[in-house]
Amino acid sequence: MTEKRKNRLRHAIASVLIIFIVPLCERGKDMSGASSVNAFAGKELVCGIDLGDDMYGSHGLETGFNYELLNRFAKDNSCNLRIVAFSKHNNYLDSLKAGKLDLVITHEHELEGLEGVGLTRKVDECSVWAVKDKEEIRQMNSWISHITSSPEFIQMKRRYKGNFNPHKRAEKGIVTSVVSPYDDIIRKYAKTLGWDWRMLAAVVYQESKFSINSVSHRGAMGLMQIMPQTGRHYGVEDLLDPDKNIEAGVKHLRRLQNQLNSSGMELTELIKFTLAAYNAGEGRIADCRNFASAKGYDNNSWDEIQKIIPLMREESILDEPSVKLGKFQGHETIAYIDSIMSHYEAICAICPAR
């Protein structure tokens, strides 16, 4: 081939690339919702999710769904997020107007008559994104338009919508491989405990009903109801993050389980005692076991421990040398173990082992 023909071929290939490949790349950008002029690139956005309490809602796990959607937005638009969830003590819309938040996800009816903020198009049937900087709405709407028409959005939405109560599903005879939107995370961390992942799912359901924005009156947060100081002890700051929250909870369970592991318990009993310590604290459960042993009961059997707990409510327990922390009512802990075992039975019914 002559040099002249080689040059013609090179020009022809370049033309094809310009005509066909470049538009395809631009179309790929459009499909991800990213703009050619990205108003968010490199920014950190502080976002509030104010959708109420998922545990008692009728729209599924809205906060978890929008949390995942926000993280997808950040990935597509090359920005960083700090996400905070609903708190009864904070008015997120006032924080948005004051510039303390960059974006708030809330129900559309909460924004009727509100001035000073701009609204995106609906993300789903009931929620919208509110921002103070109205110039950013165009790019957000473009992204929302593309993502909500994608198959992955439909799949994501399906994972979070519906009733995740295992007892109601078991009553209906439902058989499924899906227990919650967080099954993959639960499976991953259950392996580090040596537990059936469905048992850990029962714990998560007991603690939060699979709602990431669950907060107790004592300040425990998220899927496994982790106290902030406990999270920090295990290197976790963002307790709203499903993966991090379960990671912290499982690290704590593993520490408790390791303390009990030398007792020679069989696995089911080991799990019950670990959960009892998770609920009441290891000191209380050590008192129960020491007192049971002193009274001639099997301190490796949770059923036997339940028999001596009523004695630990008496004034006389204060004189027992085997008991360090005084009286222990134990009602909550007994109910806690019973509930988790009931949840586990229901989860096994809807999701049989394979």
Among 114-118, 172-176, 258-262, top mean pLDDT goes to 172-176
d(CA 277, CA 281): 4
Is the pLDDT confidence value at 261 over 80?
yes
pLDDT value, residue 25: 43
Percentage of residues in the chain with pLDDT exceeding 90? Answer: 67
Q: State yes or no: pLDDT of 22 exceeds 50.
A: no
- Asked whether the predicted pLDDT for residue 145 surpasses 80, the reply is yes
Cα separation, 332 vs 206, whole angstroms: 13
Compute the average pLDDT of residues 162-182. Answer: 95
Q: What is d(CA 70, CA 57) in angstroms, rounded to the nearest whole number?
A: 20
pLDDT of 313 higher than 70: yes
Note the pLDDT tens digit of each residue in 27-64.
444 444 444 578 899 999 999 998 876 755 555 798 99
In this model, does residue 274 exceed pLDDT 60? yes
Per the CB < 8 A criterion, the answer to whether 130 and 113 are in contact is no
- Each residue of 73-85: pLDDT tens digit? 999 999 999 998 7
Model confidence band, residue 206 (pLDDT cutoffs 50, 70, 90): very high
* Closest to 117 in 3D by CA, of 127, 125, 128: 128
One-character DSSP codes across 112-180? TT--S-EE---SSSSEEEEES-GGGHHHHHHHHHHHHTSHHHHHHHHHHSS---HHHHHHTT---S-S-
Structure confidence at residue 23 (pLDDT): 42
What per-residue confidence (pLDDT) applies to 4? Answer: 56
Q: Are 274 and 257 in contact (CB under 8 A)?
A: yes
> Does position 11 have pLDDT exceeding 70, yes or no?
no
| 86 has a pLDDT exceeding 70 | no
pLDDT at position 262: 83
More confident site: 162 or 36: 162
pLDDT band for position 88 (50/70/90)? low
Per the prediction, the chain carries an average pLDDT of 88
Categorize the per-residue pLDDT at 87 as very low, low, confident or very high, splitting at 50, 70 and 90: low
Go through the domains of the chain in sequence order and give each one's CATH number: 44-159 (3.40.190.10), 166-350 (1.10.530.10)
Is residue 68 among the annotated active site residues?
A: no
pLDDT at residue 108, rounded to an integer: 83
Please identify which of the residues 136, 207, 247, 304 carries the catalytic annotation: 207
| pLDDT band per the 50, 70, 90 thresholds, residue 271 | very high
Return the top range by mean pLDDT from 74-88, 98-112, 254-268, 308-322. 308-322
pLDDT of residue 16: 45
What's the pTM value of the predicted model, to 2 decimals? 0.86
Instruction: Indicate if the pLDDT at residue 287 is higher than 80.
Output: yes
DSSP state of 99: T
Residue 81 CB neighbours (<10 A) = 18
